[in-house]
Structure 1
Amino acid sequence: MKNKIILAISLLTTGIAFSQTPEERAKIVSNYDLEHLNVLEKELIAQNDANQKDNIEKMARLGVRESYVDEAGSYYNLKYFEGDTPIYVKTDNVGSALTARVNTINYGGSEGLNLNGQNMIVGVWDGGPIRGSHVELAGRITYKDGETFFVSNGGTRHGTHVAGTIISSGVNNANSKGLAYQAQIWGNTFDNDEPEVVNQIGQGLLVSNHSYGIPAENAPVYYLGAYINESSVWDQMHFNAPYYQAVISAGNDRGSSADTKGGRDLLVGNKNSKNPVVVAAVAQVSNYTGPSSVNMSSFSSWGPTDDYRIKPDISAKGVSVFSTVSDTDTSYDSMQGTSMAAPAVAATLTLYQQYYNQLYASYMKAATLKAVMINSADEAGATPGPDYKFGWGLINAKRATQIIGTKNSGGSIIEELNLANGQTYTKSITSDGVSPLRVTVVWTDPAGPVSNGTVDDPTSRLVNDLDVRVVQNNNVTMPWVLNSFFIQAGAIKADNPYDNVESIDVDLPSGTYDVIVTHKGTLQGGNQNFSLVVSGVNQTLSSNSFSNVFSVYPNPVNDILNVTVEGAKVVVKELSVFDSQGRLVKFVDMADTVGTHQVDLSELNSGIYMVEMKGENGERDVKRIIKK
């Protein structure tokens, strides 16, 4: 059991460092339903206390161990009893930055962003306290639950590896460098995790990692794929704290005794929640060229949920991950498992939040963060669209930061919206005619009804069912959804009554479309917040537009871009070229141009750029181009 002694504040921290400011965290928390969070925390503490009393009696009567390490090195800790059956929580351990393309946005990366997790906090719950004195972690681990490191064991080794995957500095061994290597960690053991998570959410925690769970072979059969009480609790956390995002490993149960459906239906507990991000493990991807570049690990647990929701959500490297371990202050080792994939995603999402705050002085809601992650993911798997193995694909930090960076220059759309009962939301968008057009809507859904113990119960756990459609000239493009009649065949484009994520890919896009968001039935609470992310667009950001007289060609362009202004409707004063991160890279005084003007772009690197024209009366238009 977790040590209940409350230690002095000075003992809780290894070193003192400033991170997300108290003011920033207070601003985040001001948007939360703290009353409901406080009630939930008290309920979870009471439930844990009751479980501990029950555990003590049954461990003695049944001769059950509280914790142990198996032959594979996985750490088990008793959570509760289902009748007389012990339910354990197990650590899910069986080139992360390269696979996630985080190397392109870290210091020295091709995107020039220097996103290393500076001033950011990541919560980590794991089997044992992290070795905070490790040379790669020293000074950046805060022991939030009073459990400090004192001896290396299976739990601490796993937790220290997870921490290193996120924040290892690489100062002693460059190969161990984490994805957010200048961030800090709030460290906790996973005993009593749920009330602690609620408490730290109330302190402004944005992202947390959970590389553990109930192993499928240890669970009652009806738990597999089911929306149980644990699933509901984690959805309640997210719904009452809309900026918080939990990242959870999918588990490593393929090939276990519980695997009776060819790898499917192996997710348990909070891995079946709607709002957390659940992560599958794949092999390293050194150079993504298409879906065949992404190879599934031999162990990663597959979904979907019993009600046909797409889980896992995303994939990341979880095979042969090199990181810090707790044996000594300079120990390292390679491990594999979804335990290793989840912290890669947690670190990457933290960098997305860092970049968004850097550009716009605010953080994204978790639904927005998840929508950016899904919209930017690379295709993976044997069939188009999402599936129950890889989720929405391979996480791609380079593409995600491009989407974040171009929202104010018209190259993408990121909006946080609200839909009231009976309301229809419509937005006109224009394809850039070059890039794929992807429209993603995500909402943090209220907790759904808990399973009654029926095996493979398909009853939908979705509470508020939003629908998104993309329409052009009465042609309607539908969102992706798993085919409930033949799951193994992959996703289809049809109405999605299951997920609180709807994403649409428009084939061969060209011209203008309407994005339409509606809902079925009656919305619980009378309304539902949702986030909209669109990529592959060229949006005019001003009503004072002269797009009808402004054109650029060729596109893609080699060195010389022709800019044409037809007629004498406006007087053009200046032209500006911005890179994919919104930075000005070229300025041209157009000298009251009418007709065609040639702009030399030979000094620019290959990539995506935005060309902005301004007129003398405030007219403005933006065109998206690709430089070869």
Structure 2
Amino acid sequence: MCYGLPTKTIRVLLLILVSFLGIISSFGQSPKAKDQIRATYKQQNMASIIAEWEAEHQSKKTMIGQLIASKAYRPTEKANDGSQIELRDIGTDGTPLFYTTLNDPASQTSRAHTLYNEGLLNLGLNGGGMEVGVWDSGVALTSHQEFDARANNADGSNEISLHATLVTGNLISSGVEPNAKGVAYGARAITHDWNRDKIEVAEAAVNGLLLSNHSYGILSKSVPDWYFGAYIKVAQDWDKIMYNAPYYLMVTAAGNAQNSNDNASPNFEKTADGFDLLLGFTTTKNGLTIAGANTEIGSKGELVKATVAGYSSFGPMDDGRVKPDLAGDGSNILSTSSSTNSSYQVSSGTSMAAPGVTGSLLLLQQYHEELFGTYMKAATLKGLALHTADDVDAKGPDYKMGWGVINAKTAAEVLQHKEYTTLMNEETLADGESFSITVSANGNEPLMASISWTDPESEYVNKGDLNSTIAALTNDLDIRITKSNETHLPWKLNPAKANDAATQGDNKVDPYERVEIANASGTYTITITHKGNLKNGFQDFSLIVSGAQISKCSIEQPSDFALASSTDEGATLSWGEAEETLFEVQYKSIDQDSWMTGLVWENQIGLGNLEQGKVYEARVRSICAENAVSEFSETITFEFQGEETQVMEQGILSYPQELNISVFPNPAVDYLNVEAELSQDAEFSIVTTSGNTIKKGKTQGSINVSSLSTGLYVLVVQDYSGIKSTKFYKN
């Protein structure tokens, strides 16, 4: 019988099952997919923003030209470590802002490799058909042998950049040199220089771009101390892009200023401690800022150990927000060089950590689209990455590596288990309203719930206040988990005690909140509310829950698998009932190598088109999610004889238990000898390659095959302890 599952649950399970059976073809970001994203945007809003920034760009271009003409500043230079430095902007206080690539004198750490063909999850993901934007000091060498015409010089620029080529290689290199293989090695990269970065990103985002990588930032030694940790106009502008294009996510490198002593007035401790060194667009609320980590990953994809890299810049933000957000490996990364079309170079820095994360996020978007037919909003993708990151040291976030080291494997498993043990909902909270759901803990892992939202750009912009604590958060949402009279609160950090472990309390500054309950049991209520009035009257948010029992689906091995009935037209198989469970039945004639598959919600299935005299075998298993399936049941074997069909005798051991037998000679002439430890009830069948049983009887050492015609046959030997099929040739 069918148990009337919710339509959403049925759709999710069917999509996962189709993917599980390898039926889905991935088309990546097709024009249709981009059109679907574009249709959700208010195009006029972004057009106005772009026009405003174009005028601003021309004005600042004139001002920069005047500064260069006065010989007060050089337009470009190279640092001793090879970093490219260029005068690119003017701050609101008139400070010249130099952009610099973030060098320092991937896929393993992010666990992206577990998503590849023959990876631990074996999902076949490589970014094929997906597109990622790369903005850098120049454009990548698109003719490099690793790029297979998958890198596009979008600016038509002749300014080929070594740094851009290294970053692009870390993202998409095909693996001609295996040790330089990119994280999303089948994806396309659109490379730009940084001259009109936010304008070009706004144009691309409104046309469906999902992700862009920015491994550069403002040169830390060139700015006054108040810039560090401050929410400035640059951050406001990028937040404005992400709010108006909510499927787009910016990924930035945290920087390598930990030992620079560039901030003489940090908001915590003394300069040499390395805190309060983030600036520019690394301080956005909605983007992801990536720290560098040194990691060791185990054979099962587990994080064995991790420490923050000795170059990586620390937070906090002046208002106490968690930054950086995540960590990736940026040390000693082999990637493509721009010297020749076949050259490579080792590089380190958060510049290399960021594309490792960006590529992993691209694979997760690809996987979500394969499973569910849509892409995640940026808040969902960001929330998923933070929800599943591997915690380092003390529980909760910190100001060195944020929420921990990215774990694409765990993130993919959350997608696999959606509507089974996890929830991923994109919701909207209206002004003055609240949202709540009730969930049951599954008892196997901590119950964890998080919310993530793309916050409107802050109206407050710091224009010179040192270490201002005014919060940049505009719409302050809150998540709580309650049970009886007990309330569980989200993590928070205190910038005045930046080295201390996170505590649990009312978070008033972060657009991401997470609550987790160890050893959870029973039923809990998750509630989302907001403080004050919501700007624009509403706030979209993404809710992610793990460690719950969302469905009653059972991954127990189906019981009582049997031949229920048969007619001249076919046979019906049945097994024990289980609520909200999809069953996969496999069957074949014993002379075939591949199984045929049937999918049913009921606890029985009818098999038609069976041939008289053929021997068939069948098995069944339960499926709750792509990575939540039971073992196959015991295999039943039957010779189809219409209404007279009966299951052949077999033992209680489950398939694929096989007998250990030796058959000789092969080819055989008159007799075929069977050597094995068999009971006196052991039986054999000889089956033609067309599936017809032509001889059967008791297995008693040797079988007379002298009457058989020359050709290939299948011998099936069956005893209480198992079954064995083997081919032999009759001369």
Partner of 1:113: 123
| AA aligned opposite 1:40 | I
Instruction: State whether residues 263 and 302 of structure 1, in contact with CA within 8 Å, keep that contact through their aligned partners in structure 2.
Output: yes
Partner of 1:14: none
Secondary structure at the counterpart of residue 358 of structure 1: helix
**Aligned counterparts of 1:128 and 1:585: Cα–Cα separation in 2:** 52
Give 1:453 shift: 1.2
**Aligned counterparts of 1:208 and 1:334: Cα–Cα separation in 2:** 23
Give 1:56 shift: 1.1
Computing the radius of gyration over CA atoms, which structure comes out larger, 1 or 2?
2
Partner of 1:307: 319
Partner of 2:227: 223
Partner of 1:578: 623
Give 1:47 shift: 1.2
Instruction: State whether residues 129 and 147 of structure 1, in contact with CA within 8 Å, keep that contact through their aligned partners in structure 2.
Output: yes
Instruction: State whether residues 111 and 301 of structure 2, in contact with CA within 8 Å, keep that contact through their aligned partners in structure 1.
Output: no
List aligned pairs for 1:506-521, cutoff 5 A: 506-521=517-532
Indicate whether 1:447 and 2:457 are aligned.
Answer: yes
Instruction: State whether residues 309 and 482 of structure 1, in contact with CA within 8 Å, keep that contact through their aligned partners in structure 2.
Output: yes
Show CA shifts across 1:341-368 (max 9, x none). Answer: 0001110100010000001110000000
Indicate whether 1:98 and 2:103 are aligned.
Answer: no
Show CA shifts across 1:477-504 (max 9, x none). Answer: 1000002442221210101001000011
Instruction: State whether residues 290 and 379 of structure 1, in contact with CA within 8 Å, keep that contact through their aligned partners in structure 2.
Output: no
| AA aligned opposite 1:249 | A
Partner of 1:21: 30
Instruction: State whether residues 261 and 274 of structure 2, in contact with CA within 8 Å, keep that contact through their aligned partners in structure 1.
Output: no
Instruction: State whether residues 422 and 546 of structure 2, in contact with CA within 8 Å, keep that contact through their aligned partners in structure 1.
Output: yes
Give 1:124 shift: 0.2
Indicate whether 1:179 and 2:187 are aligned.
Answer: no
Secondary structure at the counterpart of residue 28 of structure 1: helix
Indicate whether 1:157 and 2:150 are aligned.
Answer: no
Partner of 1:438: 448
Structure 1: gaps of 5 or more residues? 1-17, 554-562, 592-597, 604-628
Partner of 2:365: 353
Partner of 1:127: 137
Partner of 1:383: 394
Secondary structure at the counterpart of residue 355 of structure 1: helix
Identity of matched residues, %: 35
Show CA shifts across 1:92-130 (max 9, x none). Answer: 111x11111111101221101011001000000011110
| AA aligned opposite 2:217 | G
Call closer, same or farther: CA 1:84–1:517 in 2, change over 3 Å. closer
Instruction: State whether residues 58 and 84 of structure 1, in contact with CA within 8 Å, keep that contact through their aligned partners in structure 2.
Output: no
User: Relative contact order, CA 8 A, sep 6+: which one is greater?
Assistant: 1
Call closer, same or farther: CA 1:526–1:589 in 2, change over 3 Å. farther
Give 1:446 shift: 0.3
Instruction: State whether residues 402 and 580 of structure 1, in contact with CA within 8 Å, keep that contact through their aligned partners in structure 2.
Output: no
Call closer, same or farther: CA 1:600–1:531 in 2, change over 3 Å. farther
TM-score by length of 1: 0.83
Give 1:69 shift: 1.0
Give 1:436 shift: 2.0
| AA aligned opposite 2:363 | L
Indicate whether 1:277 and 2:288 are aligned.
Answer: yes
Give 1:440 shift: 1.0
Call closer, same or farther: CA 1:236–1:582 in 2, change over 3 Å. same
Call closer, same or farther: CA 1:369–1:85 in 2, change over 3 Å. closer
**Aligned counterparts of 1:77 and 1:247: Cα–Cα separation in 2:** 21
Call closer, same or farther: CA 1:273–1:416 in 2, change over 3 Å. same
Call closer, same or farther: CA 1:551–1:580 in 2, change over 3 Å. closer
| AA aligned opposite 2:331 | V
Call closer, same or farther: CA 1:590–1:240 in 2, change over 3 Å. farther
Instruction: State whether residues 133 and 329 of structure 1, in contact with CA within 8 Å, keep that contact through their aligned partners in structure 2.
Output: yes
Number of matched pairs: 552
Instruction: State whether residues 331 and 348 of structure 2, in contact with CA within 8 Å, keep that contact through their aligned partners in structure 1.
Output: yes
Structure 2: gaps of 5 or more residues? 1-26, 264-270, 558-575, 580-600, 605-619, 637-651, 658-731
Aligned with 2:82 (options 73, 76, 79): 73
Give 1:582 shift: 5.0
Give 1:584 shift: 5.7
Aligned with 1:527 (options 538, 543, 551): 538
Call closer, same or farther: CA 1:551–1:239 in 2, change over 3 Å. closer
**Aligned counterparts of 2:439 and 2:653: Cα–Cα separation in 1:** 27
**Aligned counterparts of 1:253 and 1:67: Cα–Cα separation in 2:** 20
Partner of 1:463: 474
Partner of 1:619: none
Give the root-mean-square deviation of aligned CA atoms.
2.7
Instruction: State whether residues 284 and 319 of structure 1, in contact with CA within 8 Å, keep that contact through their aligned partners in structure 2.
Output: no
TM-score by length of 2: 0.72
Call closer, same or farther: CA 1:436–1:133 in 2, change over 3 Å. same
Partner of 2:276: 265
Secondary structure at the counterpart of residue 62 of structure 1: coil
Indicate whether 1:325 and 2:329 are aligned.
Answer: no
Give 1:285 shift: 2.4
